[in-house]
Structure 1
Amino acid sequence: MSVILLEHPRPANPKRLEEVVNAPLSACLFTGYITSLLRKNEIEVEIVDAHLYDWSFEQTTSYLARKAFRLLCVHTIYLWEKTQNVFDLLSNLRSAGVTAHINLYGYYPTFAYKNILGRFSCIDSVTVGEPEMTILDLARRLLSEGDISSEKHVQGLALRESKSNVVFHPRPPIHDLDQLPFPDRQDVSLFQEKGIMTYIQGNRGCYGQCTFCYLNPFYGEISQWRGRSAKNIFDEIFKLYTNHAITNFYFSDANFFGPGKTGKERAITLAELILSGNLDISFGFECRANDIEEHSISRLVMAGLTNVFLGLESGDPASLKRMRKHLTVDENKKAIQLLREYGIEPTYGFIMFDPYSTLEGVRNNYEFLKEMGIMTTPAVTAHLLHHRQTLFQGTPDYQMMIPEPTCTGQDFVCSNYDAPYTIKDRRVAAFSEIIAHICGAALSLLPRTFDCATHASAAFTMDTKTGLVMLNHGLIAIFEKTLQYFENNKHSHSQEVIQEMSQRLTHEIRTLVEPYSLLHAGNALL
């Protein structure tokens, strides 16, 4: 085996409920694209998807230690305090006698490559940004020359030149995405067996400039959106539909629509191709509120659109401006209303708290959610009411707040890839802490079979369904009265107040739903 591409284990972490922010959907097909490109160039490659196979780190190490390969490329996901396990796995492979070149790729290593190469001698290189062409060049060089030490100019590759020096030569993003072969679907049957969505990547980058997002910095060009042609996308969907009877798709794009009129026209063209091909499919995507307009949405719905994730982020004008959304609250409202007119209840990207949140901004967010009728189930409501911005290295917000990362000792968490912060306004910080505790407690009360998409299992008893309604109303009422308390008390942010209110309100939530069997159906209280 010449090359192995590893999707390492991703153990569940109940402390990180918002893990979606750490593993952008746009990265999920990188490994498949790399595989197809290598095979197109007659390079032998195997995907080892330990995450999909539910392998432990020990099982993964054991499997790889028995294999013979020249290059190991690892799609590396940041796992907070469990990230060290990934590096332990690779270090253990070295100890087991693996001499292959080890390369990391993905969002996390792209922004943390200096720290990674400076701390972990088991890593030989890091692919920075878009990985396909860089890994192809790396594989060619290794397989033809056996060593890359004589050449430091592989574009897109970061290398350790010395113990204290890392060299990196940027690679421009792929201009014509139609030239990439369709991503390999090695484990398509297992994905179907597990009920995992079939993803399609229709574009890369975004025309937005949101301060909380590292999508464009990852690709190396600000506001650089590149889209596959509608025909190329349709051909891939048609192949999966015909060869594997797949009828449900989700676009992994950070923004399905391209910029302006051209973006809408491309989306309409894809819809027309699906309709003319008589494909009986359903699909979903993610987009900004300003992308939602009637003509394109009507055609997409006819073609099978059923699911839209809408990046609202806020119902507060000041927050939208601070995030550089270039959107208004009214535009957010109109997008929701239009989607509902076409039978789509969207899911939402929403940030209730950020480093500069004010009580006025939180109040505006809450009134927006209430007015738009978004808080309909306890799972959705709990996530919306406590969701806090995460600051990852590479985002403009991180660069604004955090100095050059430093690290001392052996604790990997101190790499500062994600930056903990205290909300500047002390009352908002205290309020956020209480609400996070209450919402976490509410989530722990939900039945294990609860599904956010379907709202509730049909097997629930009437009492349980009533309990879910009561829990949802209770969450909203507690948020409202706690917000009022902090609005009316300027000096109510001590740890004593936080602890007392958290305990009292948690008990209130528990008491509220106890008669309706949720406590017996759910997990133990946090």
Structure 2
Amino acid sequence: MPVILLEPPRPENPSRFEDVVNAPLSACLFTGYIAAVFRKYKIETEIVNAHLYDWSIEQTIVHLLKRSFPLLCVHMVYLWEMTHDIFDMLSVIKSKNNMVHINLYGYYPTFAYKKILTDFPFIDSVTIGEPEFTSLDLARYILSQRGIPHSPSSEDISPFLKGGLKGITGLARRDKSGEIIFHPRHPMQDLDQLPYPDRQDRELYKKKNITTYIQGSRGCYGRCTFCYLNPFYGQIGQWRGRSVKNIVEEMLILHREYSIGNFYFSDANFFGPGKSGRERAITLAELILINDVNIHFGFECRVNDIEEYSLSRLVMAGLTNVFLGLESGDPESLKRLKKHTTVDENKKAIQLLRDYGIEPTFGFIMFEPHSTLESVRNNFEFLKEVEIMTSSAVTAHLLHHRQTLFEGTPDYQSMMHEISNPHTSFTRYEALYKIHDPKIEAFSEIITAVCRAVLSFIPKDFDCDGTKTSNTSAKSSSSDTANNALITLFEKTLSGFEAHTIDYYNSDKVKEVSQKLISEIEANMQSSS
């Protein structure tokens, strides 16, 4: 009778297209690490990755109801309005098997646990923060209570078995009176103590051409106000890295035993802080080179971490892909977001990567609660100067992207204190705000509508799988036209707001402007096809 680790389905939500928000959540490897820890301690475990299998909610329910299991641990991901569908699914599972203990883990439940445990009585517990060893304690307790053998050892004779669930640190739950209780657990400091994550569906990942993720570190030394990473781990400004030897050994095993040669570090910040962080990166590159393996890898980092010598060694070792957290081309926005970087550092990092043959991808926030016409103009001029608006898909994401305010981030807390009756979405996890300057709010509304329309056009006119077709050149021409039109219309509309020629207080007028721009881009695309 195994413990089930579930990666739920992720129903498509056409009204939400900021996929970058959830990208790290699918790559964080928590489920694989929990499974590896369970198996290390002889706990029978099965990963059900409904998201990877492309299962519907109905298919997932059918599969799980065929099984008998005492504990269901669910990696819960925030899906905006569709989040409730996953809770409905779990409610059905609980109603058919009321003896199963349902536990949630991940970023979203860590910050929304009080609301979740209050609103959904069929959820028995929520793991807060780092899930591996809290999940282990929970599994041991549940299995012991059900009399299910799980290779007991001296380590099983621990206080939580005598004190019940209340003795498990890192676990939020309701007591007999219905009060929600939680005792924090300190994050592990030695990440090498974790076994390598389980990769149960390795062949399916390869078949779908999904990059193999490696986690080399946890946390970040930055303190950006839009990020909940360090609060998730219950600490501020703390970065912890696996040893270079431990990381490279895992990569070599995957390369030599399974012919995997393409990796991506799911770390929020690949580099550790300062000089020691760069030296660690150099050591990793040297160890890969010493082992003489032909692999490629990518990572995410801050712009101030990009330095020539460490970059040169990493490129020699196989670095081909870098995601840069630029966030803004406006000095005041960078200060508000507490990036502790400058616009010049953004430019220098981009240029240095290009000098070494790497065209980076970017994290960028065009609009945030305190945006002004000046900050938006500075952002736009920056994007033009560094020449990163290269395709209609990339440009549409860059030009519309609006900061999300998720619970756990400093900006969320600031917004909740700033307005007396904040409008929040499902389970209050996301604060839905209006930009302070009504001109920018109206401009953002127009540009978001236009960019959403452009993104909706793309599947109709372009192949997304990279397959060449007989009319590839025509489609490329159409893409170029859409991209150029989008950039031109953004600048034209921004200039209109700067010149006060658009009645931004009139919502009907704003919608009219949006529709006119959408029609103009669509006409341009059709004429070039």
Bin the TM-score by the shorter chain. over 0.9
Q: Distance in 2 between matches of 1:255 and 1:467?
A: 37
1:285 aligns with 2:296: no
1:474 maps to which of 474, 479, 485: 485
Q: Distance in 2 between matches of 1:20 and 1:471?
A: 22
Q: Which residue of 2 aligns with 1:502?
A: 514
Paired letter, 2:51: H
2:200 maps to which of 168, 186, 191: 186
Say if 1:352 and 1:385, in contact at 8 Å, map to a contact too.
Answer: yes
CA pair 459-387 structure 1, distance change in 2 beyond 3 A = farther
C-alpha displacement of 1:452? 7.8
Say if 2:462 and 2:475, in contact at 8 Å, map to a contact too.
Answer: no
Map 1:154-173; keep pairs closer than 5 Å. Answer: 154-162=168-176, 164-173=178-187
Q: Distance in 2 between matches of 1:151 and 1:468?
A: 57
Paired letter, 1:299: R
Say if 2:102 and 2:123, in contact at 8 Å, map to a contact too.
Answer: yes
Map 1:373-412; keep pairs closer than 5 Å. Answer: 373-402=387-416
Q: Deviations over 1:107-155 (max 9, x none)?
A: 0100000001111111110000000010001111122234978441211
Paired letter, 1:256: F
Q: Distance in 1 between matches of 2:9 and 2:95?
A: 20
Say if 1:37 and 1:181, in contact at 8 Å, map to a contact too.
Answer: yes
Q: Distance in 1 between matches of 2:201 and 2:428?
A: 35
Q: Distance in 2 between matches of 1:262 and 1:293?
A: 13
Say if 2:298 and 2:319, in contact at 8 Å, map to a contact too.
Answer: yes
Say if 1:159 and 1:167, in contact at 8 Å, map to a contact too.
Answer: yes
Map 1:18-417; keep pairs closer than 5 Å. Answer: 18-25=18-25, 28-146=28-146, 150-162=164-176, 164-402=178-416, 413-417=425-429
C-alpha displacement of 1:457? 4.8
Q: How many residues align?
A: 513
CA pair 487-329 structure 1, distance change in 2 beyond 3 A = same
Paired letter, 2:61: T
Q: Distance in 2 between matches of 1:445 and 1:228?
A: 43
CA pair 459-264 structure 1, distance change in 2 beyond 3 A = farther
Q: Deviations over 1:5-44 (max 9, x none)?
A: 0001111112110032135247530000000111101111
Say if 1:70 and 1:100, in contact at 8 Å, map to a contact too.
Answer: yes
Secondary structure of the equivalent of 2:405? coil
Q: Which residue of 2 aligns with 1:521?
A: none
Say if 1:26 and 1:252, in contact at 8 Å, map to a contact too.
Answer: no
C-alpha displacement of 1:414? 4.3
Q: Distance in 2 between matches of 1:276 and 1:474?
A: 49
Q: Distance in 1 between matches of 2:353 and 2:192?
A: 30
Paired letter, 1:17: F
Q: Deviations over 1:183-205 (max 9, x none)?
A: 00001001101111100000000
Say if 1:177 and 1:227, in contact at 8 Å, map to a contact too.
Answer: yes
Say if 1:25 and 1:252, in contact at 8 Å, map to a contact too.
Answer: no
Q: Distance in 2 between matches of 1:241 and 1:272?
A: 17
CA pair 240-361 structure 1, distance change in 2 beyond 3 A = same
Q: Which runs of 5+ in 1 are unaligned?
A: 518-526
Q: Which residue of 2 aligns with 1:419?
A: 431
Secondary structure of the equivalent of 2:431? coil
CA pair 79-362 structure 1, distance change in 2 beyond 3 A = same
Q: Deviations over 1:214-241 (max 9, x none)?
A: 0000000011100001110000000000
Paired letter, 1:110: T
Paired letter, 2:445: E
C-alpha displacement of 1:396? 0.6
Secondary structure of the equivalent of 2:166? coil
Paired letter, 2:487: I
Say if 1:406 and 1:414, in contact at 8 Å, map to a contact too.
Answer: no
1:12 aligns with 2:12: yes
Q: Distance in 2 between matches of 1:406 and 1:252?
A: 37
2:527 maps to which of 505, 515, 522: 515
Paired letter, 1:486: F
Say if 2:25 and 2:107, in contact at 8 Å, map to a contact too.
Answer: no
Secondary structure of the equivalent of 1:419? strand
C-alpha displacement of 1:437? 0.9
Q: Distance in 2 between matches of 1:42 and 1:430?
A: 58
1:485 maps to which of 479, 492, 496: 496
Q: Distance in 1 between matches of 2:479 and 2:427?
A: 41
State the TM-score, normalizing by the size of structure 1: 0.94
CA pair 65-160 structure 1, distance change in 2 beyond 3 A = same
Paired letter, 2:242: R
Q: Distance in 1 between matches of 2:135 and 2:365?
A: 36
Paired letter, 2:41: N
Q: Distance in 2 between matches of 1:155 and 1:23?
A: 28
Q: Distance in 2 between matches of 1:232 and 1:451?
A: 40
Q: Distance in 1 between matches of 2:489 and 2:169?
A: 54
Q: Which runs of 5+ in 2 are unaligned?
A: 148-160
Say if 1:427 and 1:491, in contact at 8 Å, map to a contact too.
Answer: no
Paired letter, 2:139: A
C-alpha displacement of 1:98? 4.2
Q: Which residue of 2 aligns with 1:520?
A: none
- Percent identity at matched positions? 62
C-alpha displacement of 1:450? 4.2
